[in-house]
Each structure stands twice: as C-alpha cells, then as structure tokens.
Amino acid sequence: MATAKSQVIEARDAGEPNVLLRLWRNKDTRSVILQILTVALLFAFLAYIVNNAILNLAALGKTFSFDFLGMSASYDINQRLIEYTSQSTHFRAMLVGLLNTALVAFFGVITATILGFLFGIIRLSNNWIASRMVYCLIEIVRNVPVLLHILLIHGIIVHVLPSPRKALDIGDSIFLSNRGLTTPDPVFGDGFSYTVIAFFIAIGAVIYFRKWAKKVRETTGKIYPVFLISTGILIGLPLFVFFLSGSPLAWEIPKLGRFNLKGGITMIPEFLALWLALSLYTSVFIAEIVRAGILAVSKGQWEASQAVGIKRSRILHLVVIPQALRVIVPPLTSQYLNLTKNSSLAIAIGYMDIVATIGGITMMQTGKEMETMILVMAIYLSFSLLISAFMNWYNKRIKLVER
C-alpha cells in the first residue's frame, strides 16, 4: 500500500510544474520579475561604468572627489546675483552660474509665452497683413539656428548701439547702450516688508475671488470683470499699504561717469542677447502650438457663444482658450525645457552660466572633468524635473473632468 501511495504522489508531482515555472506563467508575477531583472541589470551596468571610470582615473593619477568645490575659484564673473569675488570658492562660483542660468530661463519662459500667445492669436486674425507678417516672422526665426540669433542680437547690441555717453535714455533714468540696459536701483526702507506681506495677501484674495466669481457664473450666469477686479486688488492693496507705511522705497538713479554709467542696475549685453534670442526663438514655436490649440476647438463653440451675444474677446477668454489649453500645455512643456537647455549656448558670447563656470573655467583649472560634468548634468536635470512637475500639475488642473 505504501509503495502504491508513493507512486501516486510522484506521478502527481511529475504532472504539475515546479514553483518557478508557475510564477513565470502568471502574467502579473512575470511582469514583476522582468522589472526586477531590468533594474538589476541597469544598476550592474552603472556600477561597471563607475568602476571603469575610477580605474581609468587612477591610471591617470587622478582621484574621484568633490573636494575642489572648497578651493578658491580665482576668476571673475561678469554678472552675479549674490556676492562673489575671485577669492570665493568654486562652490560659490557654481551657485552664481546656477542663478544666472535660472535668471535667463525665468525671464525667457515668461517673455516667450507672452510673445507666443500674441503671435499665435495674430496668425488667426482676419487682418490679412498682420497674419502674413507674423507668418513670415515665424518662418524666418524658426528656420535659423538659435545660436545665430544669439550671436546676431549680441552683435547688434555691442556694435550698433551707442556708447554710454550717447546712450538712448528714457526720462534720464533708463539708459540703453553697448554696455547694456541700465535702470534705477531700488533701495528698500525698513517698512517695505509690510508691502511685501500685503502683496501676498492680495494674491490670496485674488485666488479666492476668482473661485467665487467662477462659482457665481456657473450657478447664476452673472459675469464679473474678474481681470479688472483682480488687477485692482493686486495693485491697490500693496499700494495702499506702501503709502500707509510712509513710502519706504527710494531709487538710485544711474548717472554718467567719466567712461561709463554709475549706479543703478545694469543688464549686461550678454544677458540681454541671450534673453531676447531665446525668447524670440522659442516664441515662434509656441505661436504654432497656440494656433493649433485654438484650431482644435470646434467652430461650433464660437458660433454657439456668438448666438447668445458674447463678445469675441470674451469668447476667446472664457470659451476657446480654456479648451485650447488642454491641447497647448503638453507641447508647451517641451518648449520650456528646450529654452532652459538652450541657455547653455551662453558660453558662445561669454555669459557666465552654469556651463561657463563649473563646466568651463572650474573644469579647466581643477582637471575634474567627470565631477564637474556630473554636477552640470544634475543641475540641468533638476531644472527639467522641476519644470515638468509644475507643468504636469497645471495640466492635471485644467484637464476635462468627467462627471
């Protein structure tokens, strides 16, 4: 009996697959196993690359470390948002370059967005001349490499604009010359912090008011002038607090010295050229994205809105643009990323961004090619991830909510 029972058990086990085979045949389990193997292979490959790099550096008599960040940089930077001298460390130089890159990207994104929306709407205008002019501008700008735009605008600023003694001025306070754009420098008093607090309170009030106005429009149909009221709150409340606290703000007006303008804030030609070139180049791509987004909205939306007596400008603001944004925002993210990464071309005109500082002069001085490139790549990756995260959040916020 025992022998017959054992033979039955052996036959049953022989007919069933083993544990590993059962796991592999399960679709969900197989997917997890493949992902684990893929990640393991990736880490193994990275470990091989890192180990190979360390061995090669050792063969050249080099070590892999970031100790050089604490050493003196011994070079000047032509534009800086924080205090910096040639005796500052390479880490400080990296921060200056990082802020310079962020400054160009910030102003570039804002300017390119405004110009892009403006060009895109004009392209759809019934005015044939305006539409054709913008079309020609778009075709010319986007078919020329961005580096040539940067060099061209920089050349115009440096070689065409007059010297500081003959600078173009607005009200004897704003000067444009081949040394850059010089504007008055604000000098903040002790009570200016109250104005800043009032400004943030105004932002919160505007957000609340816009939500409330939207709710009223959806429930009763009554439309408030949201833009005008919001602008009034943003300007009026801080301005009221500003005067109430004794106007704690003065302006340092630039004056002409012996060879150059003294005082004020100067935007150097390199910054102006990079900002304007990147903004213009990116704006023409944004214009086509905006045009495509507006055309994606059904013509029936226009006709239905006109049938109930809504003005064309209000139709664009309340009906068309909100629907077009769902088409515009995803490719718009790519243009913001491209603008930020294209700022690395600043090295061609001597603007000291992150590539020119830590990825340029610092790398040449210290011989730390791998370490500096890792830092530059990590910084650009961080910028890209931050922009993508914000735009993904905004895209989810405006997406169509199904009931």
**pLDDT of 52-73, one tens digit each?**
877 887 787 777 788 888 899 8
Neighbours of 107 (CB within 10 A): 17
Give the C-alpha separation, 259 to 254, whole Å. Answer: 13
pLDDT value at residue 10: 52
pLDDT value at residue 16: 53
CB-side exposure of 12: number of CA atoms within 13 Å?
6
Residue 261 has pLDDT above 90, yes or no: no
Residue 46 has pLDDT above 90, yes or no: no
- Nearest C-alpha neighbor of 362 from the set 94, 46, 33, 38: 94
Give the C-alpha separation, 342 to 151, whole Å. Answer: 13
pLDDT digits (tens, 9 = 90+) for 349-369: 989 999 999 988 999 988 888
- 331-338 mean pLDDT: 94
pLDDT digits (tens, 9 = 90+) for 193-203: 889 999 999 99
Tokens of 153: 């605008």
DSSP tag of 160: T
- 271-300 mean pLDDT: 92
Give the C-alpha separation, 232 to 272, whole Å. Answer: 31
pLDDT band (50, 70, 90) for residue 11: very low
pLDDT value at residue 169: 83
pLDDT value at residue 319: 81
Buried b (16+ CB within 10 A) or exposed e, 66-90: eebbeeebebebebbeeebeeebeb
User: pTM for the whole thing?
Assistant: 0.80
Residue 336 has pLDDT above 80, yes or no: yes
pLDDT value at residue 366: 87
Strand locations in 303-387 (E): none
pLDDT value at residue 343: 92
Give the C-alpha separation, 134 to 284, whole Å. Answer: 9
pLDDT band (50, 70, 90) for residue 30: confident
